[in-house]
Amino acid sequence: MSQNQTLFERAQRVIPGGVNSPVRAFRAVGGTPRFITRGSGAYIFDADAKRYIDYIGSWGPMILGHGHPGVLEAVQKAALEGFSFGAPTEREIELAEEILKLVPSMEQVRLVSSGTEATMSAIRLARGATGRSKFIKFEGCYHGHTDSLLVKAGSGLATFGNPTSAGVPAEVAQHTVVLEYNNVAQLEEAFSLYGHELACVIIEPIAGNMNFVRAALPFVKRLRELCTQYGALLVFDEVMTGFRVGLHSAQGHYAQLLPGFKPDISTFGKVIGGGMPLAAFGASREIMKHLAPLGGVYQAGTLSGNPVATACGLATLREIQKPGFFDSLGAKTRQLVEGLKTVAAENGVPFSADCQGGMFGFFLLPELPQNYKTVMTTDCTRFNAFFHGMLDRGVYLAPALYEAGFVSAAHTDDDIAATLDAARRALR
């Protein structure tokens, strides 16, 4: 029995399902989860000492790769100074200033410890600022495991959603309206029905939890117009895309295509913590003044702005601002994606793929899907076989059909060539 199997059996005795986050259990793809012992650059190593080229990157944060020297030095120095104080530190200010410098839509930011905490707080803030209760989310977008966000689409157009998790009361979900991603007509009907009752609309601008599906430009444009018209706040969930798809995040990408575009509230995570538990939400001063201790919207956290986490995040943000960083990262990601397309075509496998910055996704479909319903038509059996074929050949992709992938600055041309060679053999 491998060490991975031994550890998994041991874990299942003391941890539900043997994991502390469900996708890690390999339930979607079958087989035994790999228990990781260490990471170095573009690689991770499991309990059997097998090396993998890592395209998960801790689900996005490891944009520099594992164990970047500059980040490691910053974290070690901070740890020597103290793990946690429960009091303000100067580094919290420095990190906030760095984030705000790169995200012009925000004037103030509040640091928290997780993406779920950030999105939960953003919706509470939107409700407090507008005095309204209802909000819109889109099927296939994941915004953390807050009760009101664990909701799927109802049976009819613009209907209220149904809970997708046990333990979520129907009355909690009654204020959540769930729509189809990239469906302008549905969006317009929902606003005509509920527009003046909506506190906000929350969206992943590039959805990374139905693999990789980007919001179409006409959809984003109309969404912004409707929110402005009806006084609802537009919340961009950039927990995954923030500083991962570009230096100014996904909203910077859309602002280039739609001059003057900006969301009202933004949430961040992953990259801003560099691998440590750290996230944030922010907006204009006018909106943020509703947040305690200034206003009546309460939010607090013992470990918010943790000194070790802020050191890690600050060092990471400073590295990604170096000249040419995103040009290089984007080129590597495109090289991988285009290579995968070529290999799939050689083997006669239906395949489509997309990428932005250091984030990518692929589908065993002839065309890129635009919504969750289409994503669900992907051949799961074939994907699972491909996943294990890649894993056996030392390439670690997300162990689920519905997760995006990530390239780091540490990936080399040789790593990508090895990945494509593994894909060529796995697809055969």
Give the residue numbers annotated as catalytic, written as ranges: 142, 237, 270
**Closest listed residue to residue 219, CA positions, set 352, 100, 117, 370:** 370
Instruction: Give the number of other Cβ atoms within 10 Å of residue 293's Cβ.
Output: 6
According to DSSP, the residues that pair with 100 across neighbouring strands are none
- With a CB cutoff of 8 Å and minimum separation 6, the contacts of 236 are 203, 205, 250, 251, 263, 265, 266, 267
Instruction: Give the number of other Cβ atoms within 10 Å of residue 416's Cβ.
Output: 20
Burial classification of residue 88, based on how many CB atoms lie within 10 Å of its CB (0-12 exposed, 13-18 middle, 19 or more buried):
exposed
Q: What is the dihedral of CA 49, 393, 58, 414, to 10 degrees?
A: 100
Query: What are 49's two structure tokens?
Result: 């000492």
